[in-house]
Structure 1
Amino acid sequence: MFNQPVDSNRELLVRYSSGERVFKGASLSGVNLQGAWLERVSLIEANLVKADLRGANLREAHLERADLRNANLEGAHLEGSHLEGANLEGANLEGANFDGAIRPNGRVRWR
Structure 2
Amino acid sequence: MRVTLHVCTTCTAGRPVAEGGQAPGARLLAALRTAGAPAGVRIEPVECLSACDHGCNIALTGPGRWSYVYRGLDPDTHVADILAGAAAYAASPDGLVPWRERPVIFRKQSLARIPPMES
The interval holding the TM-score normalised by the smaller chain is under 0.3
More strand by share: 2
Greater RCO structure (CA 8 Å; 6+ sep): 2
The structure with the larger Rg is 2
* TM-score normalised according to structure 1 size: 0.25
* TM-score normalised according to structure 2 size: 0.24
